[in-house]
Amino acid sequence: MKPVVSSNQQAPRQLRDRARMLISCPDQPGIVAAVSRFLHEHGANIVQSDQYTLDPKGGMFFIRIEFDLSDLDRRLDPLIMDFREVVAEKLNMQWSITRADRKKRLAVFVSKEDHCLLELLWQWQAGDLDVDIAMVVSNHQNMREMVESFGIPFHYIPVTPETKAEAEVKHLELVEDHADVVVLARYMQIIPPAFIKKFQNRMINIHHSFLPAFVGGKPYAQAYDRGVKIIGATAHYVTEELDGGPIIEQDVQRVSHRHNVDELKRIGRHIERTVLARAVSWHAEDRIIVYQNKTVVFE
């Protein structure tokens, strides 16, 4: 395992010697002691630790640790190699260690609706979203001027039945070496399996319903037809199963029989934008562990 490296070179001083560790492994006695002892022996200081056990009797153990290590540039790679041999392999761990000062690079995909993209841009501009937005990719031109006003590259790649295969190739060429995370901010196209595989557990979608209800297209119309009293939005990792990937974050709001479909959409837009921004922020801060088709989120 190696730290994620991004284009960011500026970080608060307190983060320049800080790293984050995510671990999942079969539950057994001594895991916390082994990790803590290892970090102590390498001169690291644990500044935050959070853990969760799924079914303490023979289940899974999950932990997120932040630690400071002086002279991190020189010492982190040897620490990672030692951790693999001394701790991780012996305890059958799935794990990662990343630098806290390396912001993840986002490629944001969007179609015609701008509300989720705008929320990400506003939070990024305010310094509340700790990422680099490397690019915005769209199958429509209408957001070019707005995106470029933030100083962010905008790539227009039309998707039609005739150009779909060509567009898929261009998408991969754009992002595979220039983005760590792909965010589908109301991008209304089916993502091909090869793209999903390339960004497994690194592609986040916002779906405008409280999954697993109303999967697929026009969920607000489906909700209206069903007469629901609560609508919601779901941010999840993308898998080949449509709207079926591990759920990261959800939220809801009450509605009534008085709301028509357009009013449900208006209410839903506020939920979508905040749910997606929270999910992206948690991923950027290495707060999520995927296990099977679920997530453990250390808030």
Query: Which residues are marked as active site?
Result: 243
- CB burial class (10 A; 0-12, 13-18, 19+) of residue 11? middle
Cα–chain center distance at 130:
12
Q: Pseudo-torsion of CA 65, 70, 73, 78, nearest 10°?
A: -70
What are the residues facing 96 on neighbouring strands?
A: 22
- Dist CA 160 CA 228 (whole Å): 34
CB contact burial 214-241 (16+ within 10 A = b; e otherwise): beeeebbebbbeeebeebbbbbbbbbee
- Dist CA 230 CA 252 (whole Å): 6
Radius of gyration, CA atoms only, the chain: 21
